[in-house]
Structure 1
Amino acid sequence: MKLRQKVIFLAIAPLIVALCAIAVFVRQQSVTLARQQHATIQQAYLASKQAELQHYVELASHAIAHLTASGRKDPATLEEAKRVLQSLSFGDDGYFFVYDMHGRNLMHPRQPELVGRDLWDMRDQFGVPTIQNLIAVAREGGGLVRYNWVKPSTRKSGPKLGYVVAIKDWGWIMGSGLYLDDVEAALAQVDAQQSRNIDATMLWIMGLAILATLVIATLGLALNISESRVAEAKLKALAQRVVDSQEQERARLSRDLHDGISQWLVSIELQIEAGIIRLQGNAEQQGKALASFERTAGELNDVLGEVRRISHNLRPTLLDDLGLAAALDHLAQEFAQHSGTPVAFSAKGNTDKLPPVVGTVLFRIAQEALTNIERHAGARHIDLSLQAVRGRVTLAIVDDGAGFDPEGVETHPQRGIGLRNMLERLDAIGGTLDIASSDAGTAVRATVELKD
């Protein structure tokens, strides 16, 4: 291989390797972010569907509450209840159905041919016993069920999210459902857009690689080393130019990658805004959804900066290094410094050998409680205590602030997120949360029974 070819090869090979490595890394990150976005949008859609469906079933239950509460079970009362439920509907494919506990259909407004039939052994195209699952959930107190059912407007089977409750005095299960084909269509659109974005990024990187290769190859072919002195001088100049060219290309590639990633994040924002258009509902609902999503889009840049901070705080290292008591003591001191509200911490019993998950949950609850006190209570003093006695650990946060209505806040659609987070964390480990609040202050107590 001639010297000129070696120079060209040594200049191009590292650049191509670097570009390939960057391309692989960018693609992996893009695919990961696309999956996370898919999961986030899917979760948001399903949460909206679940809340809407539960609301419909609650309205239907209220519609026949005067009949179920009467204590009557005569045919006239049962038929009146069926008539009321059959008259209720929402949208093109929204209706209510009734079965007895043995799987016999008692009322179905959109498929009257099913009324009176025993559907206990009915299975969908995947072999899932649909009616058995509905009855099982209703017997356990009611809740959500995923299954496949024929959509009235298209007469084709599709995924459906149902919610059923039991009317025990009558031996009925009553429920309704929402079809999920619109959710799947929206997610498919999002996935397609993300795929196009990833492909476009790969094409940009490929174009830069080809351009850089052509530039370096052209410079190499332009060298003339006919004489040894001239060749040596030109070789030195070429070596310097190759180094400069590599640095320039890498700098430009770095800027392009930065701009590309930024544009990709902007496309996420655009996808969120596009989701506003796909929301179904009346004009008032669409207006409210639009305003909410626009505010969310405006805060996206702040969220991106916050992600970096949160990623370093996913697991408090104080718990691993010092234990729960020391971590809470440090948290109390840190809170008192930045908020100006004194926090008195006390610990009793041996808390050094708590299960890691218990320590993490109690630490997060303490963080959430202190945050709520700082934002809403206006307290002058806070007592934070940890007690481990006879296989039970209790965390208590007591303040002398303004107090609040725990039940009203917990059921408010736009508030009570912190309290729900506390409850969900404790439920996951079998703990309980007690809240007492008045004008004199608030006491939050989290209790966990330790088991071998």
Structure 2
Amino acid sequence: MKLRQKILLLAVAPLAVAMLGIAFAVRYQATQLAQHERALVEAAYLQSKEMELRHYVELAQSAIAPMVRSGRADLATRQAAMEALARLDYGPDGYFFLYDMQGRNLMHPRQPELVGKDLWTMRDAEGTLPIQKLISAAKAGGGAVRYQWKKPSSQQLAPKLGYVVAVPEWGWMLGTGIYLDDVERTLRQLDARAETDIRETMAWIGVIAAISILLVAASGLALNVSEHREADAKLRQLAQRVVQSQEEERARLSRELHDGISQLLVSVKLVLETATNRLRLAPTEGAAVAPVLGMALNRLDTVFNEVRRVARNLRPALLDDLGLFAALQHLAREMQGGSRLDIDVTQRGTPRELPDEQATALFRIAQEALTNVERHAGARHVRVSLAFDADATRLTVRDDGAGFDVPSMQRDPRRGIGLRNLGERIAALCGQFDIVSGSGGTELVASLPLAKPAPKPAAVSHDPVSAGPSQS
């Protein structure tokens, strides 16, 4: 996965997780609120129904109160009271019922088949004992009881709320009740409406989450396009720098070949032509030609040394044969030989073999740094330190020169090209490149992480004149 895709995923994933968490929290809170609202509505509804049933029972008590207070308890008086209660009804399923305190039904206007039966041990569909619960409530002074009972109008079991009181003078339990199936239906409609509202809320959250994710993705895409354009611009600039560096290196080699080797070869050619003319004019005077040929050999030797110098600048053989530290020491000796610099090369840590690209990069950094010190710093002492640390290989070049303004150098496109190229070379190897400069001197630090060295190819001589003629 590309870095841009990872960044986009890191931006979208937390947003998606956050929106999912918000959705779960909202759903949980909405469900709890709906349940709480349902409980409040049910409690309020049942309370109102209980008050209504209490008023009905009080009305029934007032209807039979004269008979009860008369003091008569004969069968005729009781039968008259039962007939009066049977005539009191309020709708198809609103009626009064009578039981004695032992659970025997005395009067039931809607289910006459129950009259005279002992229902003390009867259980409803939920396994409870409704008659015992009703008698207990009546003995406690009156109250409401919920149970299951067959609804007369539909002959189906339905939840019922009953309210009962005791008639202690005659040992009766007087009560009435209201069926709650309409209440259950209303509560189910309330639950369905709450569920619909929750689904709509979740849908809105989903729409908001989708829009947010799309906005983040679009922003990431726009950022990717911008970064891609910037990267393309940097890549073109880098390619221009590479071409420019190549042209500068070719120009330098051209100058060295023209000003050094070419001039020497022309000189050798003239000397040899002089020797040839002398031999042609005086074939027997070999002694006169010998000094001229000796001069030619000396100049050829100078040519060979110049070729070796150019070859070493292109790729020092010591870097492959003896390692980076030996190559740095040789570079320091060469720089000291042609300048007033005092260069000290030190090594710290346990030496280890470096990959070719790392060794070459560190050598080029040292070469460029020493060249800049010689040309621009006006320094007298330079310290080159190669450190083999546990986590990286570090090259430090410190001088006591005049220093320079690093930020302005980096901003100026016409200056510091060599240092920028070296920094990009180190960055390509996942390393760090730092420059600190001031009035007390300049310190350059290049650090490369540990890397597994690549297999080395077969040794090949880098001396272009090793197979040349003997110079005895």
Larger radius of gyration between Structure 1 and Structure 2: 2
Q: TM-score, normalised by structure 1?
A: 0.49
